[in-house]
Chain A
Amino acid sequence: MTRYQCKAAVIGTGAGGAVAGAVLAEAGIDTILVEQGKHYRPEDHRDVLSGINRMYLDGGMTVTFGNPPIPAPLGRAVGGTTIINSSTCFRPPSDRVASWGGPAWEELEPCCEEVERRINAHEVDAELLGGNWRVLKRGCDALGVEIKPLKHNVKDCKGRGRCQYGCQEGAKQSTDLTFVPSAVAAGARLLTEHRVERVIVANGKAVGVAGVCPEGDFEIRVDAVVLALGAFCTPAFLLRQRLANGSRRVGRGLRIHPASRVVALFDEVVDGYIGLPQGAYIDRWADRRVMLEGVFAPPGLMIASLRGAGHELKDLAARYRQMSAFGVMVSDTSQGRVRAGRFGLPFFATYQMNRADAANLRFGIARLAELYFAAGAGRVYTGFLPMPVIERRDALPRFEGIAAKPVHFEMMAFHPVGTCAMGGDPKTSVVNFSLETHDVPSLHIMDGSVIPGSLGVNPQIAIMALAMRAARLLADKLR
């Protein structure tokens, strides 16, 4: 068995773990970052499928179970899910931060600013937004709806549209290229392909972690453990070990931002695959808990998601360059639950969307279809079972008149949060506002799972800012 000794061990190198590791190491704390996945360089990223096979947990087949099951892809590599996300940067809305009852917005804002600076989050040039943005903007202009460019954490981006499968240019400033190298430069050790299997607890306090690596077993003795496995894997890990669950809240309160994709077919060449896949957003209907964000996929993923077979599907595939696609994301009121995984599953998550969220999703799809028809689309694919294709704008009232049942939608989810929620009361929350578990001193959680409730926007910056604040508090304690 290989044994290590240090002050702090950070498990996971995604949005939360990498930031925590860098902050601790830069504060002079002897830190080890432990990552289950491999360390890929930009030149390792090749085609779409090998990206999915290598960097997605379970080859991209992770789902929440319910009616219907919802695919929820997660990253497994140094950089965690930041290596496969769309590089979209949103600050957490201040009203949501206020609703947590924890750190004030004034306290979190400087962390957001610093995070954005370090990952180079900025509004990109219009040319990077590509044809997908161009055609939808035409519809927005016609209907008087504002479409805004998103902030992205990219540097020298060429707009190859492959953010979610590993950026070949190294333009996306995911944590493997930002916070992890900073942590290592500050003296942290990075252990890749090391899977942590348990937290070692002595006298009720976390004193280390143990797991397996290609060379055999390993053990790290520490003063503090930081779990940052994400909102699915962190609660599953804790539940497997029956740890920190005095509140019985571990795994409960899962929110995922269920999302659906609308594809429009034009007579002109759109070339939606060129440019940032998630270039722009529309928040006009935020009061209906609906956010519209760009989304475009390479041909395999795009065509597999469209209805049809045989020559009908081939005709559609041949018009790939004439497609535009945008996503509808719902800030969910539905809640799910994560349990420990069995039979090789990394976790077992259940999530049943409620009718209100389904109605909001259908509303968002209808608005998007309206914008696309205004932009000149000939046909719109909705992903809604009772009416998968809308041929004309005047068919929209019929679309909106159909009862929206969750089972009718084809959905995906990208923003799991809430499964180890922070709070002041140990009876109703898992971690305190310093992100230390109420039940096990020295065991900290710094990932999306601590965010208590749906954010309504992509959570990358929120997770990083919370981890930065909490890691600074921890560093003060350990010094």
Chain B
Amino acid sequence: MNTGDAVLTQGERGFRLWMCISFWMYLFGAVFFFVAGKYIPPLINAISARICSLPLYPLPFEAREGAFWLVLSVSMMAMLTWICRAVYMDVRGNGRLVALLLLSKLCSTALYFVLFVKYHYLAYLVGALTDGPIFVLTWGLWFLASPQDKLLNRKEEEILAAVGDALMPRDGAFPLGYLDLQQACLAEVRRMLAAQGPLARVAVRLSLRWVNLAPVFVTLRPARLCGMPPAERSAFLRRAEGHWFLPVRLMVRLVKAHVIMPFFNQPEAMRAIGYNPEAHANPGCIASEGSAEATGATQGG
């Protein structure tokens, strides 16, 4: 069924427009690759030689040497073109196909980046810088288009639990850990997301996904945060929180806020650190029940 603009949400309309643009972009790309694909590497090499001192990408001796890969890239472009058209025609019905689009762009971005780090050819950097923003834009707009009542999916809950366990593990200074209050904390996060605007919600959810995938980019091995042992997870988050690159820090801190704030909003966690929400400054009010001794503190004057 074709979902027309009239019944779509603003986010869905925006994503539909992006799919329309993407359709023409990939269609043009497929035709351009087919007709003029062989000229792209020499062109990038010429630019590379002119503006930077990076090594030149090795060109094939004969045009037909690259034909095998050209066929593959054109067929991939054709597939992406078809996906964009299908999603454009029915955003809600065919929305799941976007996963293929995202997978394709994530793979190309990551591989181009790894190849650039390894071989330093400008062609690979151009590939990463082209596909990366397309991936981020498509992902972001798709998040905006996802149903407003879908605040967290199962995967994101799993990531939150993994981060929560890494930030507030069981035992240590006090026995209570994030996993003991997981359900209450997740319900709290859902309420937080429901109060936020669509862009803030997208930022939180993208940050969750990114934090889960970040170890792949940082350690260059197939390690997602959810799959790491708790101690390694904690160490990774500690490093990422102080990372020199601002977006990395911001995403980790955003996720951390959505773990720690709900956790310490639970009465059990408040009690564990001696916080008494009923305490007040009037004389005779008892702040809390003896946590000072537990932490080795002395009563101040």
Using Cβ atoms and an 8 Å threshold, which residues of chain B touch A130? 281
B197 touches A345 (CB 8 A): yes
A314 touches B279 (CB 8 A): no
One of A49, A273, A319 near B297 (C-beta < 8 A): A319
Q: Is A148 an interface residue (CB 8 A)?
A: no
One of A52, A300, A303 near B195 (C-beta < 8 A): A52
A310 touches B234 (CB 8 A): yes
B169 touches A54 (CB 8 A): no
Using Cβ atoms and an 8 Å threshold, which residues of chain B touch A276? 281
Q: Do A61 and B256 contact each other (CB < 8 Å), given the known contacts A300-B264, A319-B295, A321-B292?
A: no
In the assembly, what is the distance between CA of A275 and CA of B241, in Å?
A: 31
Using CB atoms, name the residue of chain B closest to A55.
B195
Q: Is B277 an interface residue (CB 8 A)?
A: yes
- Chain A 24-53, CB-CB to B under 8 Å as 1, else 0, gives 000000000000000000000001111011
Interface residues of B in 142-159 (CB under 8 A from A): 144
One of B169, B195, B274 near A311 (C-beta < 8 A): B169
Q: Do A49 and B265 contact each other (CB < 8 Å), given the known contacts A308-B238, A313-B168?
A: yes
B281 touches A128 (CB 8 A): yes
Q: Do A159 and B280 contact each other (CB < 8 Å), given the known contacts A53-B192, A343-B199, A345-B199?
A: yes
In the assembly, what is the distance between CA of A50 and CA of B295, in Å?
A: 29
Using Cβ atoms and an 8 Å threshold, which residues of chain B touch A312? 234, 238
One of A49, A159, A300 near B191 (C-beta < 8 A): A49
Q: Is B270 an interface residue (CB 8 A)?
A: yes
In the assembly, what is the distance between CA of A419 and CA of B246, in Å?
A: 27
- Chain A 113-127, CB-CB to B under 8 Å as 1, else 0, gives 000000000000001
Using Cβ atoms and an 8 Å threshold, which residues of chain A touch B262? 49, 300
In the assembly, what is the distance between CA of A309 and CA of B192, in Å?
A: 22
Using CB atoms, name the residue of chain B closest to A307.
B241
- Chain B 256-270, CB-CB to A under 8 Å as 1, else 0, gives 110111111100011
Using Cβ atoms and an 8 Å threshold, which residues of chain A touch B167? 309-310, 313
A135 touches B300 (CB 8 A): yes
Using Cβ atoms and an 8 Å threshold, which residues of chain B touch A61? 196-197, 200, 203
Q: Do A311 and B172 contact each other (CB < 8 Å), given the known contacts A269-B298, A320-B273?
A: yes
Using Cβ atoms and an 8 Å threshold, which residues of chain A touch B173? 311, 314-315, 317-318
Using Cβ atoms and an 8 Å threshold, which residues of chain A touch B168? 313-314, 317
Using Cβ atoms and an 8 Å threshold, which residues of chain B touch A381? none
Q: Do A385 and B242 contact each other (CB < 8 Å), given the known contacts A47-B277, A274-B287, A304-B260?
A: yes
In the assembly, what is the distance between CA of A127 and CA of B291, in Å?
A: 22
In the assembly, what is the distance between CA of A301 and CA of B264, in Å?
A: 9
Using Cβ atoms and an 8 Å threshold, which residues of chain B touch A267? 296-298
One of B196, B275, B299 near A268 (C-beta < 8 A): B299
Q: Do A320 and B195 contact each other (CB < 8 Å), given the known contacts A67-B246, A304-B260?
A: no
Interface residues of A in 167-181 (CB under 8 A from B): none
Q: Is B127 an interface residue (CB 8 A)?
A: no
Using Cβ atoms and an 8 Å threshold, which residues of chain A touch B261? 48-49, 300-301, 304
Interface residues of A in 262-285 (CB under 8 A from B): 266-271, 273-276
- Listed residue (B231, B250, B294, B297) with the most chain A CB atoms within 10 angstroms of its CB: B297
Using Cβ atoms and an 8 Å threshold, which residues of chain A touch B285? 274
Q: Is B10 an interface residue (CB 8 A)?
A: yes
16 contacts between A and B (CB under 8 A): A47-B265, A58-B196, A58-B197, A61-B197, A128-B281, A160-B279, A160-B281, A271-B279, A300-B261, A310-B238, A311-B234, A315-B172, A318-B272, A321-B273, A321-B288, A344-B198
Known: A268-B297, A300-B265, A310-B231. 7 other contacts (CB 8 A): A49-B191, A50-B191, A134-B301, A300-B260, A304-B260, A304-B261, A321-B292
Return the 5 tightest CB-CB contacts between A and B, nearest first.
A159-B281, A310-B234, A59-B195, A268-B300, A318-B173
